[in-house]
Amino acid sequence: MDTVKRAPFRWHSTISYKLVDKIVSRGYDTTELVEKGYGIADLIFINYQARIPMIEETRMLDYLMILCLDEGLSTPVAISRFVAQGDNLLTQAVGASVLAFGNVYGAFQTHGRMLESYRDRAEREHRDLKAMAEILVKENEGSLTLGVSNLMVRDPAPKRVFERAERLGVAGRHIDLQRRIVQEAQRNSSEPVDLDMLGAIGATMLDLGFTPEATWTIVAIVRAFGSGAHAIEEEEREPRHAFGESLTPKDLYDGPAERAVPPAADRDRIAKPGQDRTVEAWKRSLEERKKLTGSGHSIVEAVEDSRKTVKTRP
């Protein structure tokens, strides 16, 4: 039997603590920070990087957070509205919107790790960023997290992010690499493509000293502010629905026609097995099941080895 007296389990944190008279983050009294003129962007630098940032860095982060705050009736916003309709707490509606920020919708973590990986590779292999951008684009052809796409060819916002970073003097190697990625992707694309917000924000946040994980977290929380406003508007402007109250008209249904429920005694005669005994029968069944929407048989999922895709930090 273990006779050693052990202290009860407690969380330990290098980030913050709270007393009856103050909250301290990375050693700084947060009330004193506010009283002396520091803002939310400054505290984000303190929380994630344990440093008071240069004023130019704060202005750049403010700029990025404003761009991330809202983007209209996107999928996460729509989800927050759906949840708000169901007579739920607003925190549930906003939480649902954050959970909808999937990898394709906002892959700042994946994009950032890609830039870091090829930046480090350029140093190891003694290549310049132009040569590494060529390799990166070739090895990631068709990637949705390249930071280059046809989504924002006519939108000046991504380019303005880099222009702002240059004016403030905070642009570094990641913005340089991302620009070269854009140039290389444009040379290899059969359709017009350009820098998108994923590439613009992701590269700039790295140059500000944030990790890909921190970038993803900050963007998700900032965007939740906009989702919260939409959830409140949904409650104010639209009727709420109790669980099970909403009816769905038959004209929206295009599945099998109504049919009689067979007697349970006939089950052995009409039931179909879920397993096939031969490869040929399995192939035929699979093709038929692919036609059955809502079954998942037509979805192809590629499961990657996490050891190859996740970068372990020291």
Per-residue pLDDT of 151-161, as tens digits, reads: 889 999 999 99
**What integer best gives the mean pLDDT of the chain?**
88
Tokens of 138: 């070739």
**Does residue 248 form part of some domain?**
no
Tokens of 248: 């769905």
Say if residue 120 is in the same domain as residue 206. Answer: yes
pLDDT band (50, 70, 90) for residue 141: confident
Residues facing residue 25 across a β-bridge:
16, 28
**Does residue 99 form part of some domain?**
yes
pLDDT band (50, 70, 90) for residue 123: very high
Within 8 A by CB and 6+ apart from 292, the residues are none
**Does residue 162 form part of some domain?**
yes
Q: Which of 50-59, 132-141, 241-250, 271-280 has the lowest mean pLDDT?
A: 241-250
Say if residue 26 is in the same domain as residue 60. Answer: no
Max mean pLDDT range (11-15, 72-76, 104-108): 11-15
**Number of domains making up the chain:** 2
Say if residue 34 is in the same domain as residue 157. Answer: no
Length of the chain: 314
pLDDT score recorded for residue 11:
77
Of the three residues 24, 53, 82, the one that is the final residue of a domain is 53
Range of the domain at 128: 55-240
Say if residue 39 is in the same domain as residue 113. Answer: no
Say if residue 94 is in the same domain as residue 23. Answer: no
Residue 313 has pLDDT above 60, yes or no: no
Residue 106 has pLDDT above 70, yes or no: no
**Does residue 222 form part of some domain?**
yes
**Does residue 86 form part of some domain?**
yes
Rounded CA-CA distance 298/58 in Å is 47
Residue 300 has pLDDT above 50, yes or no: yes
Q: What is the mean pLDDT of residues 224-232?
A: 89
Residue 2 has pLDDT above 70, yes or no: no
Which of 140, 110, 127 is CA-nearest to residue 310?
A: 110
Please report, rounded to a whole number, the percentage of residues in the chain having pLDDT higher than 70: 91
pTM: 0.81
Rounded CA-CA distance 175/166 in Å is 9
Residue 187, SS3 per DSSP: helix
**Does residue 266 form part of some domain?**
no
Tokens of 254: 């295009």
Tokens of 252: 């929206």
**Does residue 163 form part of some domain?**
yes
Say if residue 112 is in the same domain as residue 178. Answer: yes
pLDDT score recorded for residue 244:
64
Say if residue 133 is in the same domain as residue 168. Answer: yes
CA 6 to chain centre: 41
Say if residue 39 is in the same domain as residue 69. Answer: no
Residue 307, SS3 per DSSP: helix
Residue 273 has pLDDT above 90, yes or no: no
Say if residue 82 is in the same domain as residue 34. Answer: no
Please report, rounded to a whole number, the percentage of residues in the chain having pLDDT higher than 90: 52
Say if residue 29 is in the same domain as residue 97. Answer: no
The alpha-carbon radius of gyration of the chain (Å, integer) is 26
Alpha-carbon distances, residue 153 vs 187, 192, 198, 204 (angstroms): 15, 7, 13, 19
Say if residue 33 is in the same domain as residue 78. Answer: no
Say if residue 62 is in the same domain as residue 22. Answer: no
